[in-house]
Structure 1
Amino acid sequence: MTSRIDNNSPAAAEDSERPRAAALTPRRRTVVKAAAATAVLAAPLAATGSAHAADGPAFLHGVASGDPLPDGVLLWTRVTPTPDAVPGSGKGPDVQVGWEVAEDKGFTRVVGRGTTTAKAASDHTVKADVRGLRQATTYYYRFSVEGGSAAHSPVGRTRTAPAHDAAAPGVRFGVVSCSNWEAGYFSSYRHLAARTELDAVLHLGDYLYEYATGGYASTRGLVREHRPRHEIVTLADYRERHGVHKTDPDALAMHATHPVIAIWDDHEVANDTWSGGAENHQPETEGPWSARVAAAKQAYFEWMPVRPSTEGTVYRRLRFGKLADLHLLDLRSFRSQQAKPGSGAVDSPERTLTGRAQLDWLKAGLASSDAAWKLVGTSVMISPVAFGSLPAYLLAPLAELLGLPKEGLAVNTDQWDGYTHDRKELIGHLRDKGVKNTVFLTGDIHMAWANDVPVTAATYPSSPSAATEFVVTSVTSDNVDDYLKVAPHTLSLVGVAAVKAANRHVKWLDMDSHGYGVLDVTAERSQMDYYVVSDRKDPKATSSWARSYRTLSGTQKVERVREPVR
């Protein structure tokens, strides 16, 4: 539902697609660590963890917000109306839910209220698309029900975007990808929740994994087990798996502290998803692909604070003043089936990664943007990468990691490398239209990269770079040292050197770490600070800065920076 606030404030309600003139209030850009987040969220989150639906309707899955606009934000929660109304069960009565938005966490300055209904048909999840808020402002929100001991949900904190035409001094995003429940704890989420200076968190895909228990991490050991234990195929299955992820304390904290801007990759449905199927889908035993993908997408939109866009997918565009346009891609719903490595089909103009409509939409948006930076959220890497020069002992784990044949690989055909015609068209468009300051933000590959995106990789650096790319590593999903069962940054260093030697546009590569990124954007530069966690299997894992790279305005190249943005 969409709800407007009438609070007689200068921020009158209006169409979110139209720019609005408003002064942007400067705010501190210094890092505010865990104390602020803990003070706001610890008590309500603890209350949620101890609430029981037996006492009446309860909020057992926290709160979340997403897709911030200058005048609004999407709010989310899930109500458990009765003890048996667990996610995916289809049980429990419909429940009326109230929501409030306030300027303070004590709710003494409430600026808007509304009601909606948590229905069994939507797994008792609810969304309120609240409008009429002030631009670039922090708000607090909560939900309520009657008849339970936990009448109010945890308090959430969110933030609106700058006005479309505002000269925003800066914007800062947390960036994450690939969160395998069984492989470790989501400490990266906890550390991002502690950074209350963030404007939002970008989740670039693989928010969850579809496999049965042990199906993806069986050789490395399980930290905790999936629910349901079997591979998820039905709507009830996907709902239950999403519900489990919304009980993780670190996920609860991140969602309650920041608006999350999410896209999906393949594992939200099944491994190596394409428009007509997936590597991990067997129609003869798991039913029609169309039924499975419909179930997965329905559960995703029920459980994630995301606005569905064109054709019910996740490609959409958000704006952060005149500083940045954020173009978010869906690289699974429209793609052709992955080609076999070495088949030559990767160059076929008949094959597509984006689909014609989405590629035209992206090209038009990039060419017409008047923002200083054009950020593109892409679930798979666009930079070309050849792996053929790797030593034999690294080929097998990389092939398993990338889902490719074990006998050796030259390229990862699940990435843009498998759809070179789409990439050539897009990169040519950037060059021909003179589009500057395009930065691709990427997940999927369980490694951290900082790359130039060359017009012609074979002749780089003699030929120019058309854009840059920052790839974040996984939150928990296995990477090279996990497969090899060796200490980080030992055997993999040979592979790093080989990849960089064969791909001169790759400026940095970390094959082993788990963690997250923090992207800080100003008019002068876009900088990615890479952070790593001490141990994905430790629920109290610490975080430390690893590296930083930036793109200076107008250069289309990445360069190393010796310290993170403070």
Structure 2
Amino acid sequence: MPAPTPTPTLARRTLLGGGAALGAGLLTAGARPQDRPLGDPFTLGVASGDPTPDGVVLWTRLAPQPDAEDGCGGMPDHPVPVQWELAADPGFRRIVRRGGQVARPALAHSVHVELAGLPAGREFWYRFRVPGRTAHVSPVGMTRTAPAPHTWASPLTMAFASCAQYEHGWFTAYRRLAEEQPDVVLFLGDYIYEYEANDYVAKSGNVRDHLGPETTTLAGYRQRHSQYKTDPDLQAAHAAAPWIVTWDDHEFENNYADLVAEEQDPYPTPEQFAARRAAAYQAYYENMPLRAASRPNGVDLQLYRRFSWGRLAEFHVLDTRQYRDDQPNGDRFPAHSPERDDPNRSMLGAQQEAWLLDGLQRSPATWDVLAQQVMVHEHDYLPGAARGFNPDSWDGYTASRQRLLDAFVERGVENPVVLTGDVHKHYAADLTRNPSDADADPIGVELVCTSITSGGDGSDEYAAGRSQLADNPDLKLASDQRGYVVARLDRQQLRADFRVLDRVSQPGAAVRTRASFVTEAGNPGLQPV
């Protein structure tokens, strides 16, 4: 197999590879020797996330043997003390905070350090250390706090991505995303895939294999997360900026809906499926930079939440999997059954929907950004007069979507921006209150990012995309290449650059901009640049 993409030097931020050199004198006071020496416990890298004006979450997970079949990463079955350090410079000459936390077997020796009381709108660097006879120091990560509330922040650069199937390609897009030096990364789902090796094959072929069988147990999900986390390009993206994450389906099981499995006959009992969901949610929390408020409780995990970026942007992070009704039409394409229009069916569930609509009405921000998973705009996939909709998207929940679109207007949301993943394509679309009216004025925009790797090598010659543009008048872009989106927001406009790679079947591909669009504050609608 080709070697992974080499680690470049990032001029402004020291990210990977500097931890050991910097760690000679790190936090030696109070170090306690371990029962036995460990190998390098930081094979999964470091991460940060959920930034607020006065804090952020720092994450790592100890795993000297990340491919261990029991999912424990080669760690002993007892707690291990971990020290952490936060600095105002990449050389750790100006220490801001330091402390310790215990990594416990019950959470797969993961560490979630929730910091508070930090100055707003500042950059920080962080690292971890496991003391002992042979001390180990982690790579260095860079993070930041959000701007102070009710202040006009400087322009925001956010990157968003989704759908990284390990077998389908090299994670070069993560490396390129890190090189963009975004202020924050939003990940919109399908961080891992649950399939056993070669169960899901890309058109360009699979370039590497999943470890183990399909993930159904806690050990299996932990091992799968570990395998993905060992990728150096993914580690670079995590170390470059704080992440705000949400999931889609493959973190658990393809196209599940609440506690309804994709295939129900034959399939495990409801009790077995619930146990699988609890295992998947547990492993997800352990491997993401999430706050304790998101720690799972059995089959439930509170993932929808809200973050402010001064008065510039409000991030409404949604969960379109855990609370939805089952897909209409037996989840078969195309969805034509009347069930999709049933007003009693919901994509978000009543509680999350009320939380979202209330938050949209209260938001003081210029831009209200919905970070979510599946396409909102009405999207006809069949050419010509025929009509065909995806039952797994908001097209399968039209009443739920209409309540959202109505709220944009009735609750005075001037600049709604929906961020979407899932479909392994770049799409850009205007949102209208009446999708069937080709002359309706836009009330917001939807930016759909393609996959990091899922689907394998794409093509710039996307015939189906041209057909979809012709059949969907609100659609402005359809592209079948891998990549991500970078959006830059200020008080006047949002500019979205759809970034693509020509291949993922080999590492090291360059990135380029496939298309760019601008939407002006107070004047919804996408304009090509």
1:348 paired residue among 333, 342, 353: 342
1:316 aligned residue: 305
What is the aligned residue count? 497
CA contact (8 A) 1:374 1:438 kept: yes
The answer to whether the aligner puts 1:192 opposite 2:177 as a matched pair is yes
State whether residues 486 and 497 of structure 2, in contact with CA within 8 Å, keep that contact through their aligned partners in structure 1.
yes
Quote the offset at 1:40 in angstroms.
Answer: 3.9
Distance 1:218 1:187 in 2: 17
The aligned amino acid for 1:557 is: G
Residue aligning to 1:100: 85
Q: Give the 3 Å change call, closer, same or farther, for CA 504–137 of structure 1 in structure 2.
A: same
Given the alignment, which residue of 444, 448, 451 partners 1:467? 444
Number of the residue aligned with 1:504 = 473
Q: Which residue of 2 aligns with 1:36?
A: 11
- The code of the aligned residue for 1:425 comes to R
Distance 1:315 1:441 in 2: 14
State whether structure 2 residue 228 is matched by structure 1 residue 234: no
For residues 36-435 of structure 1, the aligned pairs below 5 Å read 36=11, 39-44=14-19, 55-56=38-39, 58-80=41-63, 88-89=71-72, 92=76, 93-147=78-132, 149-196=134-181, 198-217=182-201, 220-228=204-212, 230-279=213-262, 283-284=267-268, 288-307=272-291, 309=293, 312-340=301-329, 341-389=335-383, 410-435=388-413
Residues 549 and 276 of structure 1, relative CA distance in 2, 3 Å threshold? same
The separation in 2 between residues aligned to 1:308 and 1:342, in whole angstroms, is 42
Which consecutive residues of structure 2, in runs of 5 or more, have no partner in the other structure? 1-7, 24-35, 295-299, 330-334
Amino acid corresponding to residue 403 of structure 2 in structure 1:
E
Change (3 A) 1:170 1:84: closer
Q: Distance in 1 between matches of 2:502 and 2:250?
A: 25
Question: Aligned pair in 2 of structure 1 residues 140, 556: CA closer, same or farther (>3 Å)?
Answer: same
Quick one: distance in 1 between partners of 2:106 and 2:64? 13
Which residue type is aligned with residue 201 of structure 2?
A: A
Matched-pair contact (CA < 8 Å) for 2:259–2:270: no
TM-score (norm. length: structure 2) = 0.89
Q: For residues 175 and 410 of structure 2, what CA distance do their matches in structure 1 show?
A: 43
Structure 1 residue 195, shift from structure 2 partner: 2.3
Distance change >3 Å, CA 56–CA 47, structure 1 → 2: farther
Q: Once the two structures are superposed, what CA deviation does each residue of 1:64-120 show, in whole Å capped at 9, x if it has no partner?
A: 000111111000001237899777138513101111111112222111111111111
**Partner residue of 1:14?**
none
CA distance in 1 between counterparts of 2:499 and 2:336 reads 35
2:460 to 469, 489, 500: 489
Q: Deviations over 1:216-266 (max 9, x none)?
A: 1166421111122x1100111100000111100001111112111110000
Q: Does the CA-based 8 Å contact 2:56-2:115 persist in structure 1?
A: yes
* Superposition deviation, residue 39 in structure 1: 4.6
Letter in 2 for 1:473: T
Shift, 1:273, TM fit:
1.4
The answer on whether the counterparts of 1:37 and 1:257 sit within 8 Å (CA) in structure 2 is no
CA drift at 1:539? 1.5
What's the % identity of the aligned pairs?
Answer: 39
Q: CA deviation at 1:450?
A: 0.9
1:41 partner SS: coil
Structure 2: how far apart are the matches of 1:200 and 1:43? 22
Rounded to whole Å, the distance in 1 between the matches of 2:252 and 2:48 is 23
Q: CA deviation at 1:386?
A: 1.1
Equivalent residue for 1:395? none
Q: For the residues of structure 2 that align with 1:148 and 1:414, how far apart are their CA atoms?
A: 53
Aligned partners of 2:15 and 2:236 also within 8 Å:
no
Query: CA RMSD, aligned part only?
Result: 2.5
State the Cα distance separating 1:349 from its structure 2 match: 1.2
Which structure 1 residue ranges, 5 or more long, are not aligned? 1-32, 392-407, 483-487, 562-566
Contact 1:61 1:247 in 2 (8 A): yes
What is the SS of the residue equivalent to 1:547?
A: strand
- In structure 2, distance between residues paired with 1:145 and 1:41: 17
Residue identity opposite 2:427 in structure 1: W
CA spacing shift, 1:559–1:82, aligned 2, 3 Å: closer
Relative to structure 1, the CA distance from residue 236 to residue 55 in structure 2 (aligned partners, 3 Å threshold; closer, same or farther) is closer
Which residue is 2:491 aligned to? 523
Give the Cα separation in 2 of the matches to 1:83 and 1:526.
40
Alpha-carbon distance between aligned partners in 2 of 1:231 and 1:86, rounded to the nearest angstrom: 13
CA distance in 2, matches of 1:376, 1:515: 20
**How far 1:465 moved relative to its partner?**
1.9
Residues 451-501 of structure 1: CA deviation (Å, up to 9, x unaligned): 00111122122x22221100011110017x75xxxxx233x32x2232122
